[in-house]
Amino acid sequence: MDEITLKALAKINLGLDVVRRREDGYHEVRMIMQTIHLYDLLEIQKIREPGIQIVSNLSFLPVNENNLVYKAARLLQEEFALTVKLTKRIPVAAGMAGGSTDAAAMLYAMNQLYDLGLSRRELMKRGVQIGADVPYCLMRGTALAEGIGEKLTQLPPMIKCPVLIAKPSISVSTRFVYQNLKLDEQTNHPDIDALMKDIREKDFDGVCAHMGNVLESVTIPNYPVIAEIKQQMMRSGAKASMMSGSGPTVFGLFEDGETAKRALREMKRSGLAKQVYLTTIYNNRRK
């Protein structure tokens, strides 16, 4: 095999809770991670010249060792000769694991191109060296993430439904959000256990009722446009709307495609978001 093309799928958080801040400064979390059909495209080809050449449709992305795709390739193979065309569609720095899923796809590609014979579990163990979300992006599907996000438990597939994605033209620092998160008796924690029960029972209304993201308590007061996007989605017929990760991306879940398409048009007309996509829940598992 001399070339391979892969879709690197984005994720949303159906539930995100922060349990505590550890002494080492990291935060312990309990999250329900969910893959969606929004993706970046990686076209990878072996070449004669040594090194890795990355080209992207986004001029501001690093194409050197600061890119997670480069780090993923280097993790499995010290010497290589590759060209990577990275077409980004997942919003950057948006709480959707865009960089992590690209790295996961690169690990998978290296394993195939160089016939390394590593299992998915072995790739996941290596992937955590790049980032806490990389193992999940290799697993895909519906999963409970604990620890700092690296402890994963596969869950039954989430009910498939339309998902509207909207990212405003702002950037949110994950470090800022976690540093300003207050964990006390007033903190409104989402019920992750109830959410898992809803997923197991295929209870769509229950999922929508129990969705929650504790990080909204920091991000929304500092970036009110996130609340405006959520309100716009609900007015357009979303059954639930929430910020993904530390933001600023907002997603909405819909019962039917026609309502979701209308919501897409209305979101674009509102001018609240710079990037708007309509996609679906991904619930097929890569073996």
Residue 58 in contact with residue 90, Cβ under 8 Å?
no
Catalytic residue among 102, 133, 230, 239: 133
Q: Is 88 a catalytic residue?
A: no
Distance CA 224, CA 96 (A): 20
Count of C-beta atoms within a 10 Å radius of residue 108: 22
Distance CA 27, CA 134 (A): 17
Q: ∠ CA 115-117-121 to the nearest 5 degrees?
A: 135
- Pair type for strands 3-21 and 212-213: parallel
Q: For residue 231, give Cα distances in angstroms to 177, 215, 235, 236, 242.
A: 21, 17, 6, 9, 10
Distance CA 31, CA 42 (A): 27
Q: For residue 136, give Cα distances in angstroms to 91, 92, 110, 168.
A: 18, 18, 18, 25
Q: Is 2 a catalytic residue?
A: no
Listed in sequence order, the DSSP H helices in the chain are 68-76, 98-113, 120-127, 134-139, 174-179, 192-200, 204-210, 216-222, 225-235, 257-270
Catalytic residue among 11, 167, 230, 239: 11
- DSSP code for 22: -
Q: What phi and psi values does residue 22 have, to the nearest 5 degrees?
A: -85, 165
Q: Which residues are annotated as catalytic?
A: 11, 133
